Copies of this chain bind each other. A is one copy, B any other.
Amino acid sequence: MIRTPSGEDSLIARYFKPLATDPGAFGLVDDAAIIPASGDDLVVNTDAIVEGVHYLPDDPPGTIARKALRVNLSDLAAKGAVPAGFLLTLVLRQKDEAWLAAFAAGLGEDAAAFGCPLLGGDTVSTPGPVMVSVTAWGRVPRGRMVHRFGARPGDRVMVTGTIGDAALGLRILTGKAETAALDADPAARDMLIGRYRVPQPRCGLAAAVRDYATAAMDVSDGLAGDLTKLCAASSVSADIALSRVPTSSAAARLLAAGSVELETLISGGDDYEILCTVPAAQCEAFRAAAETAQVALTDLGTIVEGAHPPRFLDGQGRPAALTRLSYSHF
């Protein structure tokens, strides 16, 4: 299925065939792949990353590959699905063997680590920026995909990991001044950069999300904007305590120094954490499952009735006025 105008044949055989370990991939010599019949529903998702938009031109090729796959695995995890395979579309400016070798190595390591084999794809040339598009699918028991809709008043709003690190990592990479307070701390800088370049999809939490969440999505375009979407899809609103938004110690230092605003963190993109709503009675069991999966979990607030956007409340219980909810492409 990787379409191979003759110039690409050797490229694909050399770099991508070793990743096509699933029998349904037919070693990438056929025009299509097979997903065998099974009793599970398939959850399918596609996300593309573009050079200069979702990653920087001089990011290491291995991290670009990992990010392209992981942003899709993050969606699957939030839907309660176990990864099953992916297709890769590579839009390249030229045949750069060193870049491709590093790209394929990173991709192969992640495909193996997440149990998500390459099944096929397409490689085309462009005079413009490089683009990597992945379509991934996962399995859920029939009828068990977790939706954006489904949140009910009284549900707790939970989020995994920490928020805003990736937005800060991007600011470091692009030389923005507000991260100067970390100039003397290379480990903190590297951590934030790493969070931008290589998201950590919460695949280990997929089964628990399926078992306990009434609604879920991954946070990719900013916590504030994504929660707004979840609430709109569920026809509810939410009250969130700004002070509860989980931050890394590096982010907390920048907040404490006044270098960045919390608003920047909750409207920044690229977190790839799971945002979900869980009935109060299930929270303990959900917490226990997260602990077993070694995924940090924070209770941000509560789902309430109403059609208004979620309120982000400050220490005095006053709604903060957010000027920017999320990243937008247009």
Which residues of A are at the interface with B, using a C-beta cutoff of 8 A? 1, 3-8, 11, 26, 29-50, 52-54, 75-76, 78-79, 81, 87, 89, 91-92, 94-95, 119-129, 131, 133, 135, 137, 142, 145, 147-149, 217-218, 220-221, 225, 229, 233, 269, 325-330
Contacts of A127 in B (CB 8 A): 52, 128-129
The reply to whether B53 and A124 form a contact with Cβ atoms under 8 Å apart is yes
Known: A29-B149, A31-B45. A53 touches B6 (CB 8 A): no
The reply to whether A48 and B91 form a contact with Cβ atoms under 8 Å apart is yes
Q: Which of B4, B50, B54, B87 contacts A44 (CB 8 A)?
A: B87
The reply to whether A4 and B229 form a contact with Cβ atoms under 8 Å apart is yes
Q: How far is the CB of A287 from chain B (nearest CB, A)?
A: 23
Contacts of A133 in B (CB 8 A): 48, 89, 122, 133
Contacts of A220 in B (CB 8 A): 3
Known: A43-B34, A45-B32. A89 touches B91 (CB 8 A): no
CB-based closest 3 A-B pairs: A128-B128, A7-B328, A7-B330
The reply to whether A126 and B124 form a contact with Cβ atoms under 8 Å apart is no
The reply to whether A124 and B44 form a contact with Cβ atoms under 8 Å apart is no
Q: Which of B30, B44, B129, B330 contacts A32 (CB 8 A)?
A: B44
Which residue of A1, A30, A221, A225 has the most chain B CB atoms within 10 A of its CB atom? A30
How far, in angstroms, from A95 to B11 measured CA to CA in the complex? 35
Known: A42-B42, A129-B126, A129-B127. A34 touches B329 (CB 8 A): no
The reply to whether B330 and A46 form a contact with Cβ atoms under 8 Å apart is no
Which residue of A49, A125, A135 has the most chain B CB atoms within 10 A of its CB atom? A135
Contacts of A35 in B (CB 8 A): 41-42, 44, 137
How far, in angstroms, from A122 to B132 measured CA to CA in the complex? 12
Contacts of A95 in B (CB 8 A): 330
Q: How far is the CB of A50 from chain B (nearest CB, A)?
A: 5
Contacts of A149 in B (CB 8 A): 29-30
Known: A124-B50, A124-B54. A326 touches B5 (CB 8 A): yes
How far, in angstroms, from A229 to B12 measured CA to CA in the complex? 14
Contacts of A26 in B (CB 8 A): 147
Other than the given A5-B328, A95-B330, 17 more pairs (CB < 8 A) read A4-B229, A5-B269, A8-B330, A26-B147, A29-B149, A30-B149, A34-B44, A34-B145, A35-B41, A35-B137, A36-B41, A48-B133, A124-B131, A124-B329, A125-B329, A127-B129, A128-B128
